[in-house]
Amino acid sequence: MTINDIAARAGVSISAVSFALNGRKGVSDQTRARVLQVADEMGWAPSSAARSLAEAKTETFGLVLARDPHNLGVESFYMRFFAGLELEMSIRGYGLLLQVVPSVEAELAKLAKWRNSRSVDGIILVDLHVEDPRVALATQPGALPTVVVGDPSLAGGLTSVWTDDAESMRSAVRYLADLGHRRIARVAGLAALAHTSIRDAAFADETRALGIHGELVRTDYTPQQGAECTRAALTGAEPPTALIYDNDVMAMAGLTVAHELGLDVPGDLSMIAWDDSVLCEHTLPSLTALSHDVVAFGSHVARRLFAVVDGAEPGAFLDSTPSLRVRGSTGPLRG
């Protein structure tokens, strides 16, 4: 039995139970009396009370990031995402417990430790893989409240917050096709990540549907690989006339390669970045990008996790769909 059970039986929030059992302010005398009565009826023991009270009181959400620490700062996505989480969490006085680990295995071990020690009140799962073992862990008995950041199909019935990456990718491909491009390359991120697969599939489907050539190249998100892949594609036998990159820094590095090769952007070549960032506004030409308010996305995720902690039923919540912000790097082919 946990204080979740008492909260459910008493029809009040977990916070209210915590306040009532702990003799703290923040709950009416009436609610306090009701909670104590229900706790008594349910045979609530002080030891388990202390334990569950601790559960409800870390005022911390946990997030583990399995990424190479040396590449971690390159993309601004996660820092903006964290900032959005914190905007919402700070309203309730919550902090983010962040762990950077080298592998998904290490992440699993950390998540299991948090579950056993109840070190955090809830978990945010990011960088989802297909058949992700972390989702399996989060659906076991005794799991901490969890929100999956990713497609509902990956969430194992847990609450998820997601963006419709397939629709965004299709819109980008259609936009380039409408400009007259018939050979498009996708410079994709890490293959193991589920959202990469979703974008891959949408890219393949849409280019096929439009009867144009779609080429896929694989990277680790670093500008180094963004530059190398761009150079390889543009110096190949049948180079693409448009490139869609899976982040902003690869697009920036790709643009530099295009300049080095003497290509005019967008006269010879169009380029799209995903996600948009302030970097995209400060290249020459500025980069057309799939734009998403990542700070707001983070806040949305935090709100859903608070709801889960408070006992909300699981659900799949669609965040705003990344939409094309057209700048200088895309256009019709010259001549």
* Contact flags string 229-268 toward a copy of itself, x per CB under 8 A: --------------------x--xx--x--xx--------
98 touching a copy of itself, by CB under 8 A: yes
One-letter identity of residue 235: T
Q: Which of residues 105-124 bind a copy of itself (CB under 8 A)?
A: 106, 110, 113, 119
Dihedral over alpha carbons 328, 331, 334, 335 (to 10 degrees) = -150
> What are the helix (H) ranges across 96-243?
104-117, 133-138, 165-178, 194-210, 223-234
Rounded CA gap, 169 and 201, in Å? 9
Closest CB 320 distance from a copy of itself, rounded Å: 16
Closest CB 233 distance from a copy of itself, rounded Å: 16
Closest by Cα among 256, 271, 267 to 185: 271
User: Cα–Cα distances in Å, from 225 out to 114, 214, 258, 272?
Assistant: 35, 19, 14, 16
- On the 0-12 / 13-18 / 19+ scale of CB atoms within 10 A, 18 is buried
Candidates 17-25, 148-156, 200-208, 280-288: pick the segment binding a copy of itself (CB under 8 A): 280-288
Closest CB 62 distance from a copy of itself, rounded Å: 8
CA angle 230, 280, 297 (to 5 degrees): 110
74 touching a copy of itself, by CB under 8 A: yes
Candidates 25-33, 72-80, 172-180, 320-328: pick the segment binding a copy of itself (CB under 8 A): 72-80
Interface contacts to a copy of itself, rule CB under 8 A: 59-60, 62, 69-70, 72-74, 76-80, 82-84, 86-87, 90, 93, 95-101, 106, 110, 113, 119, 222-224, 226-227, 249, 252-253, 256, 259-260, 277-279, 281-284, 294-295
